[in-house]
Chain A
Amino acid sequence: MLERANTFKKHLMEQPWGLWWLQARRLIRIEVRRNLFSWKASWIYFLAFIPTLIILIHLLFESHPAFALSDDTNVLAGIVQFYYIRLGVFFGCLGIFSRLIRGEMIERSLHLYLLSPVRREILLLAKFAAGSISALVLFGSAIIADFALMYAAFGAAGQDCVFNGPGLGQLEAYLAIIILACLGYGAVFLLLSMMFRNPTPAAMLVLGWEAINPVLPSLLQKISVASYLRHLMPVTIPGDGIFALLTVQTDPVSGWAATLGLLLLIAVVLAYSCLQIRRLEIRYTTD
């Protein structure tokens, strides 16, 4: 047993980790450049910053008495819970991550990567990292801008809420949620894009799955990104009317358990994606 462990350790040490890290960094640089600085990404910018625009209009054209602070805090929580997690990040990640492999197949340029001296698993993980960085840059900065604009309108009261009240803690929680949402949906859409020629119908099924998740048995509820994220929300908004469709109600779980659960789900999906990319063939005529 010990001998086996030593052999495995020796095998691990012999791997070209330095080269893999260098290749991953260079791939990430190429991919982030293409994700963020292309006209095709403009609709994802729109998805990320449309709430920011609305909040800016709200800031410029409406009055903000101090007693409305808690209302606006709830509005911000609602934007994160109902818009970003369920729609903005969902469709943004669908656009970013499904392009990474499937988009390259459609453009018939994936073979250039598969003919480079980069292990396919490194290629996949680097593309995932690049997609995650791109999504986080867009949606993270959008959340920070939303937060800043929302509280800036209240002047000293808003400043006090941010620096002496729960404000910064809430911002940290929202950013953590956005990070996990991008990683979770990203991993799922990356896998779907390798399994299906058009991942959009499968993504709609995922959206439907997330919507019916609350009525599923607790074991099945664990196979859902949004159900984990709900436990991390610093301000919970009950869903009424149409918003009920976008609200996930699950058994109470601690924040750490939810985070670890989601990270485990991401790891499993990525491991399966690595198996998929090893078997991937370039047959553009049939793709």
Chain B
Amino acid sequence: MNAMNDRIIFENVSKFYGEVLGVNRVSLSIPPGVTTLVGPNGSGKTTLMNLMTGLVQPSSGNISVLGLTPGNAERFFREVGYCTQFDSFPRGLTGWDFMMDSLMLYGMSEADAFRLAEEALQRVQLVDAAGRKIAGYSKGMRQKIRLAQAIAHHPRVLVLDEPLNGLDPMARAESLALFEELGRQGMHLVISSHILDEVDRISDRVVFITGGYLIAEGNIHQVRQEVRDKPMQVLIRCDHPELLASKMFAVNHCVEARLHADGKGVFLRTGDIDQFYTLLNEIAVDGLVRIEAVAPADDDAHAIYQYLIGSDGSAA
């Protein structure tokens, strides 16, 4: 298979809504796995997803998904499923009708559509409510039926716009497990979510976007390394955290120290991670402090989001 036919490609894509910028000069090459789009409201996440699936057309640039474009709808939408944020459905339908109407448009037999609808409803655990009118569903159930519809035809690319919205904690955990499983199976999952802490755990890579501009992308640890000008925070579990903090804080590139709540560790923030680890090794060798564990404390999407975008949504 051509390598490009296994990727989602954005080539210098811009989208303007009249004079309003949607996204500007975005170039991306997304391999299989779970990719999370991270950015504040109005940053262009949904625009990117809508561009990917042909719901809006790019003002300039080219987009292809596994070598296909939405203009070739018969092939494109067999490979792509999109669970949008639009919380609306055709009137009067039950969950079951909605699934069957949707699947029958793939040209499959009624028996096949029935089997796939049942399988998808089971995956999102909505079989019991499938016979009820969607108008009577809770927000979480509507989210589930949209997800079921997006995955029912076994797409290779699944685009999920805020898929955890409206779900209770149990349903969120189940959905995340499902996404993780689909990602492991070699699917492309492109997810946008505000619930970074949860999505972060299953993401193979993140795309940070704000104000329509792509500001960083890649594996979460790579991105963190690229943001080297921002001090990194490390949690060290040890027997004498105060002593360790005083030793480390004496070094001028260590900018912040905070004791862990249980008193058995310390968060240290450093501007030079390489020197930091060298010094930490020396302290450990000296035997002044017995170190039990060392782990990056801000090597996640949320922390990088704060660094790159800031809490107010403007690029930092």
Chain A residues close to B by CB (< 8 Å): 16, 19, 22-23, 26-27, 30, 34, 38, 104, 107-109, 111-112, 114-120, 278-279, 281-284, 286
Distance, CA A22 to CA B55, complexed state (A): 24
A107 in complex: contacting residue of B76, B91, B105, CB < 8 Å: B91
Residue of B nearest to A281 (CB): B56
User: What is the distance, in angstroms, from A93's C-beta to the closest C-beta of chain B?
Assistant: 21
Chain A residues near B50: list those with CB within 8 A.
Answer: 282
B105:A119 contact, CB within 8 angstroms: no
A116:B78 contact, CB within 8 angstroms: no
Binds A, one of B80-88, B114-122, B253-261: B80-88
Residue of B nearest to A108 (CB): B88
B313 interface residue per 8 A CB criterion = no
21 A-B pairs with C-beta separation under 8 A = A16-B74, A34-B90, A34-B92, A104-B90, A107-B88, A109-B90, A115-B55, A115-B84, A117-B75, A117-B76, A117-B78, A117-B106, A117-B107, A118-B105, A119-B73, A119-B74, A281-B55, A282-B50, A283-B17, A283-B56, A284-B86
For A34, A108, A115, the residue with the greatest tally of chain B CB atoms inside 10 Å of its CB is: A115
B55:A114 contact, CB within 8 angstroms: yes
Chain B residues close to A by CB (< 8 Å): 17, 50, 53-57, 71, 73-78, 82, 84, 86, 88-92, 101-102, 104-107, 149
Distance, CA A22 to CA B113, complexed state (A): 14
5 closest residue pairs by CB, A with B: A117-B77, A108-B88, A282-B55, A116-B105, A281-B56
User: What is the distance, in angstroms, from B102's C-beta to the closest C-beta of chain A?
Assistant: 7
A115:B90 contact, CB within 8 angstroms: no
Chain B residues near A116: list those with CB within 8 A.
Answer: 73, 77, 102, 105-106
A117:B74 contact, CB within 8 angstroms: yes
Distance, CA A112 to CA B89, complexed state (A): 8
B73:A111 contact, CB within 8 angstroms: no
B105:A26 contact, CB within 8 angstroms: yes
Q: Is the interface of B mostly helix, strand, loop or mixed?
A: loop
Chain B residues near A22: list those with CB within 8 A.
Answer: 107
If A116-B102, A283-B17 touch, whether A111 touches B76 (CB-CB below 8 Å) is: no
Chain B residues near A118: list those with CB within 8 A.
Answer: 73-74, 77, 105
B88:A109 contact, CB within 8 angstroms: yes
Other CB < 8 Å A-B pairs besides A19-B107, A115-B84, A279-B57, 16 of them? A23-B107, A26-B105, A108-B88, A111-B55, A111-B84, A112-B90, A115-B77, A116-B73, A117-B75, A117-B76, A117-B105, A117-B107, A118-B74, A119-B73, A119-B74, A281-B55
Distance, CA A282 to CA B88, complexed state (A): 13
Distance, CA A19 to CA B106, complexed state (A): 8
Distance, CA A115 to CA B52, complexed state (A): 11
Residue of B nearest to A114 (CB): B55
Chain B residues near A19: list those with CB within 8 A.
Answer: 74, 107
Residue of B nearest to A20 (CB): B74
Distance, CA A1 to CA B60, complexed state (A): 35
B17:A282 contact, CB within 8 angstroms: no
B86 in complex: contacting residue of A23, A108, A279, CB < 8 Å: A108
B17 in complex: contacting residue of A30, A104, A120, A286, CB < 8 Å: A286
Chain B residues near A282: list those with CB within 8 A.
Answer: 50, 55-56
Chain A residues near B90: list those with CB within 8 A.
Answer: 34, 104, 107, 109, 112
A117:B73 contact, CB within 8 angstroms: yes
Chain A residues near B84: list those with CB within 8 A.
Answer: 111, 115
Chain A residues near B89: list those with CB within 8 A.
Answer: 109, 112
Residue of B nearest to A106 (CB): B88
Distance, CA A284 to CA B87, complexed state (A): 12
